[in-house]
Amino acid sequence: MGTFRPQASSLSMERATPRGPHSEALDIVLAWLVWLPESCDVAVAARAEIARIDKSRESSATLEVLRSLFVDLAHSGPLQ
């Protein structure tokens, strides 16, 4: 049996998909959630990320959406 190898055309189509600030911010938050230790309080950690964003001198649509997602997590109950 042969090994599956994706066609170059399918890979280039995936890269050509437009990515906006919402999808980029969501990818970041999902990676961040996976990275957190299991015993971590997500709301507390989210508030720390909000503080980091607020201290940053950078401004972008992605950062605005990212901050909004962290605010939602900071006000959420425990994740199970």
**pLDDT attached to residue 16:** 52
Residues 15-67 have pLDDT tens digits of 555 578 889 999 999 999 999 998 999 999 999 999 999 999 889 999 999 99
**pLDDT attached to residue 76:** 82
Is the pTM value of this prediction over 0.85? no
**pLDDT attached to residue 1:** 53
3-state secondary structure the chain: CCCCCCCHHHHHHHHHCCCCHHHHHHHHHHHHHHHCCCCCCHHHHHHHHHHHHHHCCCCCHHHHHHHHHHHHHHCCCCCC
